[in-house]
């Protein structure tokens, strides 16, 4: 049995990443309706809006999850809401140590996966009792650990040392990536950039088009010496940040103008290297269906190699 | 048919990377004897020594290849030797544009693969007529493109646009990585760090032990604003280079003292992120056998998923 499916209730172990402002009911319900797992974000810090999104998502009756980015939560209001009122069954925690969050969440009957960028943190999380891990390779978009370890390497390093189920994130946007992740021991995948660039994603068409237009070299990591360290699309604005090695504290202030106003220079446009693999906007249903079909075709092809004990 | 096997004559599509000074007859013959493909380096610039290594390798009667790092060749002596005198059937070119090299090599009956860190260069190489590509993800060790695109992403970006056979390099050190690479469309893998840390590798035990000891976060990329940009193990010496953003022009001068004298602070110790996955020195035979066995086990497991149309 696939443990990610057992933990989430989704039909396919395909999770939508919790992008701030973007990962709300419109996108998450489309993903869950398609058989994946929609996640509602709380990293925007818009507590009341996010609560409303979670309640609306719950009303759909579809499986879903909530992300709690520990370092960015102002107080424990969201934790208490998720534990006590929201009917949430699956939570991903991120950005910090989940040690204090695990007990209350699990006591409320919630399954907890923590997102980790290194083996060290993975081991600490397992010691602290997480149910699973989201393994975040350095090629992914958004908030990053400045120690960039690729999904290919990180997944293996963690798989070799822990027994909990792993969801692979970073550089994955289709069934090829999913098959590769499963070869490395993952039981699920998480996709961010791919779902930002979906029909149901609430962002401006300019942002989706910028992802479609990006090459595999179209992103870089900003602010390695500061906080937060992020991977974004290359742009004039971010070029200045790269040259300085740091970005100003208010660099993300204009992000809603970018996300929803389409001003691609208003802030860094968070995206992963997989932007270079995405060549059109798809519906969430197409994304999930295509990913599953491609995963099945590739694993069948690989199985035929094993059966013939050959390599092509 | 696996085209890398057809092109190389090896039993398995497992290629040993051309590490300067290290990739010589002792290591290359052990790899080829084990069923992989040993490659003789010429990047050391020791032309006469490398010629002798190539001739000795040819005498074994085993399949092998030679690497020609275009930018580092002082003149065309090595190219002429490889074309005219050495009985070489397989060449990987790297570090620069292979356009001028392809015609003379192919006219001499030699199959040419070029090592590429980006889709752009891959497309140029295919236009120029290469027989195949070595796709070098940013997690690999040694000389790098400062645009770090991970193997997971780069392999897909290139596979989607070209038809020639691809050898995946960077972050791969076993059958898991090989199965992932094949899921992404590769027909072969190249391993560097794994073979540096083999019994037949001529380097000092300290270097092998440093690879064994390294975690997945144990390397970094130096000299991103200079030439050459390299990935090496973290060390006191390289920490200073990282802080400065550049390394001095003579930074690699002491590399033989490191490789063969075991002084781990004499120079940057070139290695890839897969150092974090390597936990002991193995013989080349063990490396090849274990990789093949693990590849077959994983592809069989994935094939069973496809057969049952399930995920675990």
Which positions in chain B touch A148 (Cβ < 8 Å)? 148
Global confidence as pTM:
0.97
Q: What residue of B is the nearest CA neighbor of A6? A: B312
In this complex, the residue of A138, A215, A306 whose CB is nearest that of residue B300 is A306
Q: Which positions in chain B touch A185 (Cβ < 8 Å)?
A: 176
Q: Is A95 left (phi over 0), alpha (psi -120 to 50) or beta?
A: left
| DSSP 8-class letter at B217 | T
Cβ contacts of A237-245, under 8 Å, gap ≥ 24? A237/A265, A237/A267, A237/A268, A238/A268, A241/A268
What is the rounded CA–CA span in Å between residue A22 and residue B167? 38
Query: Look-up: residue for tokens 């010429």?
Result: B42
As a whole number of Å, the end-to-end CA separation of chain B is 29
Q: Tokens in use for B129?
A: 């007529």
Q: B311 and A147 in contact by Cβ < 8 A?
A: no
From the list A4, A119, A312, the residue facing B187 with the nearest CB is: A312
- What pLDDT, on the 0 to 100 scale, is given for residue A43? 95
Give the pLDDT confidence score for residue B244 in this predicted structure. Answer: 83
DSSP structure class, residue B247: -
Strands B188-191 and B219-222: unpaired
Contact B118 A216 (CB under 8 A): yes
Tally helices (H) and strands (E) across chain B: 13, 11
pLDDT, one tens digit per residue, over B273-282 is: 999 999 999 9
Q: How confident is the model at residue B72 (pLDDT cuts 50, 70, 90)?
A: confident
Q: What is the pLDDT of residues A75-124, one digit of tens each?
A: 899 999 999 988 899 999 998 888 889 999 999 999 999 999 999 999 99
Taking the C-alpha atoms of residue A39 and residue B167, their distance in angstroms, rounded to an integer, is 37
Q: Report d(CA A89, CA B80) in Å as an integer.
A: 67
Give A169's contacts in chain B (Cβ within 8 Å): none
What average pLDDT does this structure show over A4-23? 98
Chain A CB contacts of B308 under 8 Å are none
CB contact under 8 A, B12 and A309: no
Chain A, nearest residue to B303 by Cα: A303
Q: Minimal Cα–Cα distance from B109 to chain A, Å?
A: 24
CA distance B298 to chain A (A): 6
CA-nearest of A189, A209, A203 to A279 is A209
B217 and A13 within 8 Å at the Cβ level: the answer is no
Strand partners for B67: B92
pLDDT band of A245, cuts 50, 70, 90: confident
Residue of A nearest to B161 (CA): A277
- Interatomic CA distance for residues B55 and B68, integer angstroms: 16
Residue of A nearest to B6 (CA): A312
pLDDT at A85: 87
- Give me the mean pLDDT over the B89-111 stretch: 94
pLDDT over 70 for what percent of chain B?
100
**Which residues from chain A sit within 8 angstroms of residue B157, using beta carbons?**
215-216, 276-277
Q: What angle do CA B94, B98, B101 make, to 5 degrees?
A: 115
The chain A residue lying nearest B221, using CA atoms, is: A148
Q: Which of A5, A157, A297 sits opposite B311 (nearest CB)?
A: A5
A299: tokens are 């694993």
d(CA A35, CA A63) in angstroms, rounded, equals 9
Chain A nearest-CA distance from B1, in A, is 5
Which residues in B90-100 are b (16+ Cβ under 10 Å) and which e?
Answer: bbbbbbbebbe
Query: What pLDDT sits at residue B225?
Result: 85
Residues from chain A that touch B303, judged by Cβ atoms under 8 A, are 299-300, 302-304, 306-307
Q: Minimal Cα–Cα distance from A177 to chain B, Å?
A: 7
Cα-based distances in Å from A117 to A30, A170, A245, A257: 28, 10, 21, 29
| Cβ-Cβ contacts under 8 Å, A305 against chain B | 182, 296, 299
pLDDT of residue B53: 98
The confidence band for A225, taking pLDDT boundaries of 50, 70 and 90, is confident
Q: Work out the minimum CA distance from A75 to partner chain B, whole angstroms.
A: 32
Q: A69 in helix, strand or coil?
A: strand
The per-residue pLDDT for B86 is 81
CB contact under 8 A, A5 and B120: no
Dihedral, CA of residue B120, residue B137, residue B90 and residue B180, to nearest 10: -120
Position B74 confidence tier, pLDDT thresholds 50, 70, 90: confident
Nearest to A303 among B172, B174, B304 (CB): B304
**CB proximity list for B253: less than 8 A, separation 6 or greater:** B267
Cβ-defined contact of B303 to A298 (cutoff 8 Å):
no
Chosen for mutation from A135, A150, A239, A271 (greatest number of chain B CBs closer than 10 Å) is: A150
CB A98 within 8 A of CB A112: yes
Query: What pLDDT, on a 0 to 100 scale, did the predictor assign at position B205?
Result: 98
pLDDT at A293: 98
Q: How far apart are CA B77 and CA A288, in angstroms?
A: 54
CA-to-CA distance for B173 and B219, rounded, in angstroms? 15
**Residue B243: per-residue pLDDT:** 83
Q: Which residues of chain A lie closer than 8 angstroms to B298, CB-CB? A: 183, 302
Furthest CA-CA distance within chain A: 58
Residues on chain B touching A217 (C-beta within 8 angstroms): 118-120, 147, 149
Q: CA angle, corner A125, sides to A120 and A127, nearest 5? A: 100
DSSP state of B262: -
Round to whole Å and give the CA distance between A141 and A214.
13
Q: Which residues of A touch B299 (CB under 8 A)?
A: 183, 302-303, 305-306
Cross-chain residue pair B152–A171, CB shorter than 8 Å: yes
Residue A74 clears pLDDT 90, i.e. is over it: no
pLDDT at B104 over 90: yes
| 8 Å CB contact of A183 and B179 | yes
Which of B119, B179, B302 is closest, CB to CB, to A215?
Answer: B119
ipTM reported for the complex surpasses 0.90: yes
pLDDT, tens digit, 9 for 90 and up, residues B206-239: 999 999 999 999 999 999 888 899 999 999 999 9
Report the Cα B164 to chain-centroid distance in Å.
18
**Partners of B132 in the β-ladder:** B113
Query: What CA–CA distance (Å, rounded) separates B197 from B208?
Result: 5
Nearest to B171 among A2, A150, A188 (CB): A150
Q: What is the pLDDT of residues A187-219, one digit of tens each?
A: 999 999 999 999 999 999 999 999 999 999 999
Can the peptide bond before residue B228 be classed as cis, meaning omega within 30 degrees of 0?
yes
- At A244, the pLDDT band (50, 70, 90 cuts) reads confident
Token pair 């092109």 in the structure block, residue: B7
CB contact under 8 A, A273 and B5: no
The partner residue sitting opposite A303, judged by closest CB among B150, B188, B299, is B299
Q: φ and ψ at A211, to 5 degrees?
A: -70, -45
pLDDT for A3 beyond 90: yes
Tens-digit pLDDT profile for residues B191-204: 999 999 999 999 99
Which residues of chain B does A290 touch, with a Cβ-Cβ cutoff of 8 Å?
A: none
- Which residues, listed in sequence order, are joined to residue B68 by a DSSP beta bridge? B93
Q: Apex CA B69: angle with CA B182 and CA B185, to 5°?
A: 10
List the Cα angle A64/A66/A68 in 5-degree steps. 165
Distance between CA atoms of residues A197 and A49, nearest Å = 23
* B chain contacts of residue A5, beta-carbon cutoff 8 Å: 311-312
Inspect the interface and report whether the beta carbons of B137 and A152 lie closer than 8 Å: yes
Instruction: Count residue pairs from A and B with Cβ separation < 8 A.
Output: 197
Give B-chain residues touching A181 at CB under 8 angstroms. Answer: 180
Q: What is the pLDDT of residue B218?
A: 98
Q: What is d(CA B291, CA B179) in angstroms, rounded to the nearest whole number?
A: 9
CATH of domain A3-121+129-202+276-307: 3.20.20.70
Residue-averaged pLDDT of chain B:
96
Q: Which of A98-107, A234-243, B141-150, B291-300 has the highest mean pLDDT?
A: B291-300
Can you tell me the distance from the alpha carbon of B297 to that of B312, in angstroms, rounded to the nearest whole number?
15
């Amino acid at each position: 049995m696939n443990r990610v499916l057992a933990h989430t209730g989704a039909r396919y172990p395909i999770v939508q990443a919790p992008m701030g402002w973007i990962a709300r009911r419109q996108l998450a319900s489309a993903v869950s309706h398609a058989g994946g797992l929609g996640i509602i974000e709380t990293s925007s810090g818009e507590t009341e809006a996010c609560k409303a999104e979670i309640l609306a998502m719950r009303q759909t009756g579809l499986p879903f999850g909530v992300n709690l980015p520990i370092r960015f939560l102002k107080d424990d209001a969201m934790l208490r809401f998720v534990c006590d009122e929201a009917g949430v069954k699956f939570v991903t925690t991120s950005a910090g140590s989940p040690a204090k969050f695990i007990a209350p969440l699990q006591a409320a009957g919630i399954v907890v996966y923590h997102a980790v960028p290194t083996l060290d943190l993975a081991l600490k999380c397992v010691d602290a009792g997480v149910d699973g891990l989201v393994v975040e390779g350095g090629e992914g978009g958004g908030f990053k650990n400045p120690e960039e370890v690729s999904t290919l390497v990180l997944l293996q390093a963690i798989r070799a040392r822990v027994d909990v189920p792993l969801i692979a994130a970073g550089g994955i946007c289709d069934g090829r990536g999913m098959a590769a992740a499963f070869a490395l021991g993952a039981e699920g995948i998480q996709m961010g950039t791919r779902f930002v660039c979906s029909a149901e994603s609430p962002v401006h068409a300019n942002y989706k088009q910028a992802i479609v237009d990006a090459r595999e070299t179209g992103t870089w990591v900003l602010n390695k010496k500061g906080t937060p360290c992020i991977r974004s699309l290359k742009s004039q604005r971010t070029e200045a940040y790269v040259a300085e090695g740091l970005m100003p504290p208010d660099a993300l202030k204009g992000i809603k103008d970018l996300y929803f106003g389409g001003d691609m220079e208003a802030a860094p446009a968070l995206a992963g290297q997989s932007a270079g693999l995405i060549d059109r906007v798809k519906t969430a249903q197409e994304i999930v269906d295509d990913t599953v079909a491609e995963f099945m075709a590739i694993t069948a092809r690989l199985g035929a190699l094993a059966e013939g004990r050959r390599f092509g």
